[in-house]
A and B are shown apart, each in its own frame.
Chain A
Amino acid sequence: MAEEIFYWQALNRALDAELAADESVIVLGEDVGLYGGSYRVTEGLYAKYGEWRVRDTPISEGSFTGIGVGAALAGLRPVVEIMTINFALLAFDAIVNMAAKIPFMSGGQFPMPLVVRMPGGVAKQLAAQHSQRLEQMLMNVPGLRIAVPATPQDAWWQLRQAIRSDEPVVLLEHELLYFSKGPLDMALEAPPMHRAQIRRAGKQLTLVTWSRMVEISLRAAEKLAGKGIDVEVIDLRSLRPIDWERCVASLKKTHRLLIVEEDSHFAGAGAEVAAGLAERCLYELDAPPQRVAARETPIPYNATLEAESIPRVGDVIRAAERLCGV
């Protein structure tokens, strides 16, 4: 039975379910315990599971993420919450040099059941240091898996799958999605963690996107339908690995590719999507792939400028029209 709940609640239930199912699961991060999480994701878990399972840490991103790595090596299944991805820059050594490397460079001896959860993206006037996604920085790291849930249902599924996986997974959440609502059916069987999903079927243009841009893209697709352009919206759900097969199948039908991403254009995640699909099916395309992305600027504090920094519904519509020669 599906119910309408917030994205943060879906994550909360996923953590609760896994903490209950397996005593080796622990949660650690800044204010995840007594406070209940900056975005309420860990609300109630400290009271239920105690301080050893739900651990408030000092502001030491580099070391508490590394502690997650060490704990994973010794048999725990840590879920590290980094308050925002902007702070994760301090933890990149633990994520990139440790979690992604240890299983490999030990010759395959060690499991790395580590989940690093963090929100990113442009929220509401948080200024340049709190408004990044940085997803492409992690995409380039073999040994990592990256999930980007856009809905409460996916948040529930993908967080649980990430916790159960013995490989390190980064879960990129979004600050503006936490308080968005959507249906959640906890009894539904999950698709594979990194499989893309068609959110809207269409025939004339394939729009590939993920995370918060899924919602923007769907709104644009509705308006485009009114203008006679039938858009297929694919939610990648994952940035490493990428489900190329479903994207290629869609392009064989539509022959046009539009990529919508919140991060900046240059060398962003969309560049990899465009290149990967061009390699696979360039001759299926009737027009060069196009990207709608953020401006090449740190995100300004000013509300108007901030809103104009990243793709809006109108930007997506205009790009789709151009691509279809309208």
Chain B
Amino acid sequence: MEADRLKTMLRDMLLARAFEERAAQEYAEGNIAGFLHLYPGEEAVAVGVLRAAEPSDYVISTYREHVHALVRGIPPGEVMAELFGKRGGCSKGMGGSMHLFDRERRFMGGYAIVGETFPVATGIAYAIAMRDLPEVAICFFGDGAVNQGTFHESLNMAALWKLPVLFVCENNRYQIGTEIHRHSAVTEVYKRACAYQIPSKKVDGMDVLEVHAATLEALEQIRGGNGPQLLECETYRFRGHSMADPGSYRPQVEVKWFETNEDPLKIAIAETVTPYPDEEQIAAVGGDNIQRLRGHLHQEEVLTPDELETMRKAVAEEVEAAVRFAKESPEPDWEDARNALECNRQGEVLI
């Protein structure tokens, strides 16, 4: 694989993590409110999948979608401003963290009701297929979503009509606090696709290269008119489900490093914030996707330690600039809200 693509993906992942860590910090400081679902640990999925997609493909995501939006090219400032609820946000402050949209980049939204991405993506794919276009609807969902009726209904229709959808399961093993063996009779999500004769595959969701390669292959199949495909990416979120989640349900071995690194002061300020481990601690636990890609890049000699440092700094500056943009962006007012609500009125006289 070409060096530039690898560097791009590493940069995406570094930006993703720095962005999310900063979002957590801004939440603790009160600049972001509501539900905030962060992505550390899962970066390889969004990056691996979306760097294999074309700009003409559609992306449909969940409420844990900041990183999907960033990789898709929505400027970090616009994503952060949306988290801040500001007019400069990609949804003009009307959607917030769980509802990022960007029509121009075909980022068709973050959806906050589990299981909604299936029909939305399938409907978009219907429009693509009807017009015989070489586009694909990329549908993200978590392991918990496969227990919703829409999963089965939509997969059935997508397969029945051979629609161009790539279903991507971000299997982080927990539906909020319930581990997969306690919420699903079948713990390997990809096996469920066989009920609808949809080709599916399980990949290591911590390995961005594996995710990327599997996605390219699946997209090629889909573009060939062969109907939908499903990818199960096994991953892990390092944080709780959201900032409101103390994470008490996870086994000791998983949460050990949380405990050893607990900052009582921070917890006192924001009881619900779980601290994120430093690199050494992650390395001790193993399985971190950023570490793995960086190792790969060193082996391939496409990135020197100095370049990595430069990249880190650039990413940090980008996040800093995003926060500055968000802070400086004005608050939306009721006219903005009315414009959003009546955006499709088109001068129509109702009464």
Q: How far is the CB of A192 from chain B (nearest CB, A)?
A: 5
- A106 and B93: CB pair below 8 A? no
Partner-binding segment picked from B42-50, B96-104, B209-217: B96-104
Tell me the bound Cα distance from A245 to B349 in angstroms: 14
**Residue in contact with B154 in the complex, picked from A67, A78, A93, CB distance below 8 Å:** A67
Please provide the chain B residues from 329 to 351 with a CB less than 8 Å away from any CB of chain A in the complex.
Answer: 336-337, 339-341, 343-346, 348-351
Nearest residue (CB) in A for B149 is: A62
With A and B bound together, what is the CA distance between A53 and B102 in angstroms?
28
Interface string of B198-229 (1 = CB under 8 A from A): 00000000000000000000000000000000
For residue A243, CB closer than 8 A to chain B, the reply is yes
How far, in angstroms, from A235 to B239 measured CA to CA in the complex?
56
From B102, B127, B156, contact of A74 by CB (8 A):
B127
Contact with B along A86-116 (1 / 0, CB 8 A): 0000000110011000111111111111000
- In the complex the two chains form, what is the Cα distance from A60 to B47 in whole Å? 33
Docked CA distance A72–B350 (Å) = 21
A26 touches B122 (CB 8 A): no
What is the distance, in angstroms, from B115's C-beta to the closest C-beta of chain A?
8
Per a CB cutoff under 8 Å, which of A63, A71, A72, A192 touches B118?
A63
Chain A 104-144, CB-CB to B under 8 Å as 1, else 0, gives 11111111110000000000000000000000000000110
Check B154 against A66 for contact (C-beta < 8 Å). yes
Measured between beta carbons, the chain B residues less than 8 angstroms from A65 are 119
Cβ contact of A62, chosen from B58, B109, B153, cutoff 8 A: B153
**B245-264, CB under 8 A of A: which get 1 and which 0?**
00000000000000000000
**How many angstroms from the CA of A105 to the CA of B34 in the assembled complex?**
15
One digit per residue, 1 when the CB lies within 8 angstroms of any chain B CB and 0 when it does not, for chain A 21-64 equals 00000100000000000000000000000001101011010111
Q: How far apart sit A145 and B349, CA to CA, in the bound complex (Å)?
A: 13
Contact of B101 among A70, A105, A245 (CB under 8 A): A105
CB-CB under 8 A for A94 and B119, given A57-B157, A106-B91, A106-B103:
yes
Q: Is B95 an interface residue when CB atoms closer than 8 A count as contact?
A: yes
Least Cβ–Cβ distance between B348 and chain A, in angstroms: 6
Taken together as a complex, chains A and B put the C-alpha atoms of A192 and B351 apart, in Å, by: 5
- A68, A71, A245: the one contacting B351 at CB < 8 Å is A245
A276 to chain B minimum Cβ distance, whole angstroms, is: 13
- The reply on A202 being an interface residue by CB < 8 A is no
- Is B52 located at the chain interface by the 8 A CB criterion? no
Which residues from 119 to 144 on chain B have a C-beta closer than 8 Å to any C-beta of chain A? 119-130, 137
A97 to B339, CA, bound (A): 19
Size of A's binding interface in residues, CB under 8 A: 54
Whether A192 pairs with B130 at a CB distance below 8 angstroms is no
Partner of A107, one of B161, B340, B351: B340
Please indicate the chain B residues that have their CB under 8 angstroms from the CB of A238 in the complex. Answer: 351
A105 with B350, Cβ < 8 A, contacts A62-B150, A66-B120, A69-B119 known: no
CA separation between A149 and B127, bound complex, in Å? 29
In the bound complex, what is the Cα–Cα distance between A265 and B90 (angstroms)? 44
User: Taking A62-B149, A64-B157 as contacts, is the C-beta distance between A108 and B343 under 8 angstroms?
Assistant: yes
- From A74, A102, A243, B109 is in contact (CB under 8 Å) with A102
Q: Is the CB of B154 within 8 A of A71?
A: no
Closest to A74 in B: B127
- Chain B: CB-nearest residue to A145: B350
Taking CB atoms, residues of chain B closer than 8 Å to A143 are 341
The winner among A55, A66, A97, A111 for most chain B CB atoms within 10 A is A66
The smallest C-beta distance from A140 to any residue of chain B, in angstroms, reads 15
A183 within 8 A of B: no
Which of chain B's residues have a CB closer than 8 A to the CB of A198? none
Q: Of B122, B337, B348, which one neighbours A67 at CB under 8 angstroms?
A: B122
Cβ of A73 under 8 Å from chain B: yes
B157 touches A192 (CB 8 A): no
The answer to whether the Cβ of B12 comes within 8 Å of any Cβ in the partner chain is no
Measured between C-beta atoms, what is the minimum distance from B100 to chain A in Å? 9
Complex CA–CA separation, A111 to B341 (angstroms): 11
Complex interface: chain B residues within 8 A of A62 (CB): 119, 149-150, 153
Which B residues are in CB contact (< 8 Å) with A94? Answer: 119
**Do residues B344 and A109 form an inter-chain contact, with CB atoms below 8 A?**
no
Given contacts A105-B91, A111-B344, A142-B341, are A73 and B349 in contact (CB under 8 A)?
no
A166 within 8 A of B: yes
| Known interface pairs A64-B157, A66-B116, A67-B122; 13 further A-B residue pairs with C-beta atoms within 8 A, sorted by A's residue number | A63-B122, A66-B120, A66-B150, A67-B154, A68-B123, A71-B126, A76-B127, A76-B130, A105-B91, A106-B91, A108-B341, A109-B343, A167-B344
The 10 listed contacts between A and B (C-beta, < 8 Å) are A57-B157, A58-B156, A62-B149, A67-B154, A70-B137, A105-B94, A106-B101, A113-B344, A167-B348, A192-B351
* Chain B residues near A (Cβ < 8 Å): 58, 60, 89-95, 99, 101-103, 108-109, 111, 113, 116, 118-130, 137, 149-150, 153-154, 156-157, 160-161, 336-337, 339-341, 343-346, 348-351
Interface residues of chain A, those whose CB is within 8 Å of chain B, are 26, 52-53, 55, 57-58, 60, 62-76, 78, 93-94, 97-98, 102-113, 142-143, 145, 165-167, 192-196, 238, 241, 243, 245
Kindly list the 6 A-B residue pairs having the minimum CB-CB distance in the complex, ordered from nearest.
A70-B123, A66-B119, A107-B92, A108-B343, A63-B153, A106-B101
